[in-house]
């Protein structure tokens, strides 16, 4: 972060200059090569004159600030397993004195789809492809943060070799959970590794406690994090309330700092005064235009619940440098809880005023799940009522179901969707006219759940994906291809060996490409208060699929790849975690939910609340935190959620 700030003027000027130079000025040397088993290795070099922390795909799909190398792969005879390893190394990586270059690596297949990324915070990146088909692949090297003098250099190498026989890929198939399924569903390892077998993430403390943390990513790949912990109004107060601090990262999540108007100090409590529910949300279509990148910076909303009516909200159009305060944000009817917001294009018959999208705000009133909308991005209050998505008492669903719900989602046509654990089953409410009317659909009728958190995401083709914690405390996935009316048979998607999860959350990119985040445990000692293991460790799992739409076909079998975000020896929680709120017996808590989002380059970002720090890591009986320490998660290796970012 400090390096970016100190170099921002120089980087910005060079970036502007670079983007107007012809794309072929910085080609690799040589520009391409072929590898085969008789010529298994190819090398090249390249250089940059400026940093580009945003994307390599902004100018006609190819950004001139990035370097490219064409790699033709000639596979061995059919039936022989092989791998292709591609590695790039910045020339100053071994320097003992900073600064050193940070470069990223992407690979595109012969169809020009981005199939893999390696984006760690350093100068050495590597991608392994297993059994890639014959053809010419594009290797793209991004100068995320380089220090040219006068240029920044790197070396690349690609090699083909026989696949290791002892390789264990984290690839598996879930278990289709039909109405007549008997017993506990179990995933099974995939017969073969996927094309991109490696999935990895970073796992970075944000430096502050965070209850149910949310995250947002703007078009510049700048990330914002809502970290709320109990430090209001003062250290000597008889009761401490929660206060949100909005943190920002411009270096791939490696460091986090509070933005203007927020401070970590307990003596600086200006914005906002306190919160009952924190939330961050980024509308990528809004905000000021960044003069360096030409992209909009997004409108960043930080929304803190006020129980009486609506929320205390602040928003920024310039990446957090200045903020506008809106008390009473979202207020249309009194009594609010567990709010959620989303922006969407206006459907037919509705218009906006000085803002590109409609803004929706839904909330629990116990007797129902109500919504409101703004036509001007929250600039004026009160909002316009946008109907009742769910009634608290619903004879069609059972009896009294309450108003607690999940988080809003929207599609490209302006439809909005509110999910809910409704009388013990996953449901969705759908509005096609801005909340003027709602219809409801049951996602699955045979997967009872004990929580209200159903998570939705919509891909770029308007397919909807839903995940929830269902039978046996395991995660289930279902997909709708008709805007939420009909749903596929659920698939249990926990990795092999994971026996209990909580609050799964999902993000989708291009069709079939999804990532799911959840805390999970390998322990089987749960479900009976008499024998529960109150020290069992929990970890944060990320599950990805690039062919999830196969789940819609009754005979289809999507492949999932998983990784553990935290080190296994350092769990994020111990003991009880749900169903519902993740509370341990000693009060340690993540609270109600976690979050996962996708950045403009197709990598996912997520959140965690680490309740097991300090003594708890080695001593399972030690006191846990309430809330946990805020953690930011970012994908560093694996397939991307966008094939063509």
Which residues have CB under 8 Å from 64's CB, separation 6+? Answer: 18, 19, 21, 22, 23, 25, 26
CA distance linking residue 90 with residue 555, whole number of Å: 46
pTM: 0.93
pLDDT at 594 over 70: yes
Instruction: Name the residue among 545, 551, 405, 547 with its Cα closest to residue 481.
Output: 551
Are 466 and 477 within 8 A, CB to CB? yes
Report the pLDDT value the prediction gives residue 489, as an integer from 0 to 100: 98
pLDDT mean over 49-61: 77
Give 55 or 180, the one with higher predicted confidence.
180
Domain layout of the chain by residue ranges:
2-162, 175-209+493-645, 212-329
Contact (CB, 8 A) for 569 and 489: no
In this model, does residue 115 exceed pLDDT 60?
yes
The answer to whether residue 617 scores a pLDDT higher than 50 is: yes
Instruction: Give the whole-number percent of the chain exceeding pLDDT 70.
Output: 90
Domain 2-162 -> CATH class:
mainly beta
Mean pLDDT (whole number) for 103-126: 95
Give the mean pLDDT of 154-178. Answer: 90
CA distances from 399 to 176, 313, 367 (A): 29, 35, 12
pLDDT at 23 over 50: no
Query: What span, in angstroms and rounded, lies between the C-alpha atoms of 83 and 163?
Result: 5
In this prediction, residue 6 carries a pLDDT of 33
Higher confidence at residue 175 or residue 18? 175
Q: Tell how strand 491-492 and strand 500-501 pair up.
A: unpaired
pLDDT at 479 over 60: yes
Q: Are 294 and 234 in contact (CB under 8 A)?
A: no
Asked if pLDDT for residue 638 goes beyond 70, the answer is yes
Give dist(CA 58, CA 52) in Å, integer: 11
Banded model confidence at residue 10, pLDDT cuts 50, 70, 90 = very low
Task: State the average pLDDT over residues 5-30.
Answer: 47
Question: How many other CB atoms sit within 10 Å of the CB of residue 533?
Answer: 15
Would you say residue 173 has pLDDT above 50? yes
Percent of the chain with pLDDT over 90: 73
Mean pLDDT for the stretch of residues 260-272: 56
Look at residue 106 in the predicted model and tell me its pLDDT. 96
- Give the C-alpha separation, 357 to 353, whole Å: 9
Neighbours of 567 (CB within 10 A): 10
Residue 449 in contact with residue 414, Cβ under 8 Å?
A: no
Q: Which of 543, 412, 548, 422 is nearest to 480 (CA)?
A: 548
Chain-centre distance for alpha carbon 142: 21
Residue 592, pLDDT above cutoff 50: yes
How many CB atoms are closer than 10 A to CB 19?
A: 18
Mean pLDDT within 356-373: 93
Q: Can you give the pLDDT at residue 200?
A: 97
Higher per-residue pLDDT: 20 or 592? 592
Residue 557: its pLDDT value, please?
Answer: 95
Q: Which residue has the higher pLDDT, 238 or 81?
A: 81
Look at 487 and 56; give whichever has higher pLDDT: 487
What confidence category does residue 25 fall into, taking pLDDT thresholds of 50, 70 and 90? very low
pLDDT class of 265 with cuts at 50, 70, 90: low
241 pLDDT tier (thresholds 50, 70, 90): confident
pLDDT over 50 at 18, yes or no: no
Residue 201 has pLDDT above 90, yes or no: yes
Eight-state DSSP code of residue 4: H
Length of the chain: 645
Given a cut of 70, whether residue 239 has pLDDT beyond it is no
Q: Decide if 590 contacts 630 (C-beta within 8 A).
A: no
* Res. 264: pLDDT tops 80: no
Return d(Cα 42, Cα 206) in angstroms, integer: 41
310: confidence class by pLDDT, cuts 50, 70, 90: low
Q: CA–CA separation, 602 vs 124, rounded Å? A: 20
First and final CA of the chain: distance in angstroms? 25
The residue with tokens 């198939």 is 173
Contact status, residue 589 vs residue 611, Cβ threshold 8 Å: yes
Handedness of CA 205, 209, 212, 217 (dihedral sign): negative
Higher per-residue confidence, 364 vs 529? 364
- Cα-flanking dihedrals φ and ψ of residue 458, to 5°? -120, 130
In the three-class reduction of DSSP (H, G, I as helix; E, B as strand; rest coil), residue 66 is classed as coil
Query: What integer pLDDT is reported at residue 61 of this predicted model?
Result: 59
């Amino acid at each position: 972060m400090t390096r970016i700030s100190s170099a921002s003027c120089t980087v910005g000027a060079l970036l502007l200059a670079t983007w107007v130079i012809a794309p072929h000025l910085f080609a690799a040397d040589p520009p391409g090569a072929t590898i085969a088993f008789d010529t298994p290795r190819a090398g090249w070099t390249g250089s940059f004159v400026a940093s580009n922390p945003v994307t390599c795909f902004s100018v006609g799909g190819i950004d001139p600030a990035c370097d490219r190398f064409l790699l033709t792969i000639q596979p061995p005879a059919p039936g022989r397993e092989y791998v292709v390893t591609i590695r790039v190394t910045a020339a100053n990586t071994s320097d003992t004195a900073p600064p050193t270059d940070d470069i990223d690596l992407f690979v595109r297949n012969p169809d020009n789809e981005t199939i893999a990324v390696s984006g760690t915070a350093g100068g050495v990146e590597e991608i392994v492809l297993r059994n890639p088909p014959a053809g010419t692949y594009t290797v793209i090297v991004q100068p995320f943060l380089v220090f040219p003098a006068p240029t920044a250099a790197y070396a690349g190498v690609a090699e083909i070799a026989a696949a290791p026989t002892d390789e264990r890929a984290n690839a598996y198939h879930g278990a289709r959970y039909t109405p007549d399924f008997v017993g506990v569903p179990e995933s099974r390892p995939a017969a073969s590794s996927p094309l991109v077998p490696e999935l990895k993430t970073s796992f970075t403390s944000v430096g502050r406690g965070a209850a149910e943390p949310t995250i947002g990513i703007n078009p510049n790949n700048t990330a914002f994090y809502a970290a709320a912990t109990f430090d209001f109004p003062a250290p000597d107060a008889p009761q401490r309330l929660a206060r949100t601090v909005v943190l920002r990262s411009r270096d791939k999540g490696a460091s986090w700092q509070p933005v203007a108007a927020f401070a970590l100090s307990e003596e600086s409590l200006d914005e906002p005064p306190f919160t009952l529910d924190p939330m961050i949300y980024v509308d990528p279509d809004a905000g000021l235009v960044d003069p360096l990148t030409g992209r909009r910076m997004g409108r960043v909303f930080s929304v803190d619940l006020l129980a009486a009516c609506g929320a205390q909200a602040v928003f920024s159009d310039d990446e957090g440098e200045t903020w506008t305060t809106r008390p009473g944000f979202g207020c249309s009817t009194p009594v609010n809880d567990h709010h959620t917001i989303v922006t969407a294009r206006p459907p037919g018959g509705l218009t906006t005023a000085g803002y590109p999208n409609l803004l929706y705000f839904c909330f629990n009133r116990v007797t129902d799940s109500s919504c409101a909308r703004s036509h001007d991005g929250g600039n004026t209050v009160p909002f316009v009522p946008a109907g009742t998505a769910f009634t608290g008492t619903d004879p069609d669903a059972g009896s009294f179901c309450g108003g607690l719900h999940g988080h809003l989602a929207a599609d490209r046509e302006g439809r909005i969707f509110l999910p809910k654990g409704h009388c013990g089953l996953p449901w969705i409410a759908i509005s096609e006219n801005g909340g003027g009317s709602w219809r409801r659909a049951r996602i699955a009728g045979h997967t009872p759940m004990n929580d209200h958190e159903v998570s939705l995401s919509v891909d770029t083709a308007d397919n909807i994906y839903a995940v929830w914690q269902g039978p046996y405390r395991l995660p289930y996935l279902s997909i709708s291809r008709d805007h939420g009316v009909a749903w596929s048979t659920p698939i249990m998607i926990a990795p092999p060996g994971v026996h209990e999860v909580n609050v799964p959350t999902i993000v989708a990119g291009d069709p079939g490409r999804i990532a799911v985040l959840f805390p999970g445990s390998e322990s089987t000692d749960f479900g009976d208060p008499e024998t529960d293991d109150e020290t069992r460790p929990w970890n944060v799992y990320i599950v990805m699929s690039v062919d999830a739409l196969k789940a819609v076909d009754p005979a289809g079998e999507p492949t999932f790849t998983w990784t553990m975000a935290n080190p296994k020896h350092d769990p994020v929680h111990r003991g009880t975690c749900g169903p519902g709120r993740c509370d341990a017996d000693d009060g340690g808590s993540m609270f109600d939910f976690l979050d996962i989002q996708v950045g403009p380059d197709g990598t996912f970002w997520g959140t965690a609340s680490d309740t097991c720090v300090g003594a708890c890591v080695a001593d399972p009986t030690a006191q846990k935190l309430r809330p946990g320490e805020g953690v930011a998660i970012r994908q560093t290796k694996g397939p991307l959620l966008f094939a063509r970012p």
